[in-house]
Amino acid sequence: MASSSNQSPVPDPRSQLSPPLHDMQKSRDNRRIPIDKVGVKDISYPIVVMDKNRKFQHTVARVNLYVDLPHHFKGTHMSRFIEILNQYREEIALDKMEEILMEMKKKLGASSAHLEIEFPYFIEKQAPVSGAKSLMEYSCSFSATLSEEFDFVLGIKAPVTSLCPCSKELSRFGAHNQRSLISVRVRYREFLWIEDLVELMEGCGSSPVWSLLKREDEKYVTEQAYENPMFVEDMVREATQRLSAMDTITWFSVEAENFESIHNHSAYAFIQRQK
**What crossing angle do the helices spanning 232-244 and 194-202 adopt, rounded to 10°?**
140
Q: What is the mean pLDDT of the chain?
A: 91
Query: What integer is the mean pLDDT of 121-126?
Result: 97
Residue-level pLDDT at 32: 83
8 Å CB contact between 118 and 153: no
Parallel/antiparallel/unpaired status of strands 177-188 and 35-51:
unpaired
Question: Per-residue pLDDT tens for 152-185?
Answer: 999 999 999 999 999 999 999 989 999 999 999 9
Residue-level pLDDT at 205: 97
Cα distance between residue 160 and residue 256, in whole Å: 10
Q: How far is CA 161 from CA 164, 176, 253, 264, 267, in A?
A: 10, 11, 20, 18, 13
- What Rg, from alpha-carbon coordinates, does the chain have? 26
8 Å CB contact between 94 and 142: yes
Question: Per-residue pLDDT tens for 61-114?
Answer: 999 999 998 877 787 889 999 999 999 987 888 889 999 999 999 999 999 999
Give the chain's domains with CATH numbers: 28-126 (3.10.270.10), 157-275 (3.10.270.10)
- Which among 184, 208, 210, 214 is positioned nearest to 197, based on CA atoms? 184
61 C-beta neighbours (distance < 10 Å), count: 21
Q: Which of 7-21, 122-136, 210-224 has the lowest mean pLDDT?
A: 7-21
Q: DSSP alpha helices (H): ranges in 14-96? A: 78-87
Question: Per-residue pLDDT tens for 49-65?
Answer: 999 998 999 999 999 99
Q: How far is CA 98 from CA 34, 93, 150, 163, in A?
A: 24, 10, 7, 42
- Using 50, 70 and 90 to split pLDDT, how confident is the model at 5? low
Cα distance between residue 155 and residue 157, in whole Å: 7
